[in-house]
Amino acid sequence: MAALLAALLFLSALAFLAGCKSEPPITGPRVGYLHFNDRSVTFVEWTLTGRKLEGQISALHRKPDGKVKVTMFLFYGKLDGDEVSLTLNSSGNAQDGFHSMDKTIIGALGDDTLTLPPVNGADGDEPVVFRRATPVEFADATAYLK
């Protein structure tokens, strides 16, 4: 059942990346944060209900051969003042499938920024600063990367 849910979430994310305008039901405000450079694009989005968060991190990076790899991280968490706690419970992509994981990352939420440690980073890696962004800005950054 969890694999089916993960596959459905992944397929809905792919539809979004392909330009599909349909949105999943939202129980609270949707929030998105974007970080990108010439080699990668990462978009964090969640649904907030009270202090509880549920969402996904879409991470794209250009490999040395020029191809772009997409990895999705599904999470649940909580917002406590300006502290964000995200527990990553699965990750994967269409080629490799989804895998269970249990990794918690702690970050800080500002007025228009989100600071998190790198999702795939080693302990001690510099935190990444994301800026508030729309899904359209994420799509634009993704198109630029490809």
Whether 86 contacts 75, CB under 8 Å: yes
pLDDT of residue 10: 42
Phi, psi of 59 (to 5 degrees): -120, 125
Query: Looking at the predicted structure, is the pLDDT value of residue 2 above 80?
Result: no
What's the one-letter identity of residue 15? A
What digits encode the pLDDT tens for the residues 85-144?
999 999 988 888 888 988 999 999 999 999 999 877 656 678 999 999 999 999 999 998
Q: Give per-residue pLDDT as tens, 27-54.
A: 455 679 999 999 999 999 999 999 999 9
Q: For the chain, what is the domain count? A: 1
Domain limits at 139?
A: 2-20+28-145
What's the pLDDT at 21?
Answer: 39
Residue closest to 54 by CA, chosen among 34, 81, 25: 25
Classified as helix, coil or strand, 3 is helix
State the average pLDDT over residues 57-84: 94
pLDDT, position 118 = 85
**Residue 18 scores a pLDDT above 90:** no
* CATH number reported for the structural domain that contains residue 10 in this entry: 2.40.160
Amino acid 124: pLDDT = 65
Q: How would you classify the pairing of strands 52-62 and 68-80?
A: antiparallel
User: What is the pTM (predicted TM-score) of this model?
Assistant: 0.77
d(C-alpha 12, C-alpha 82), whole Å: 29
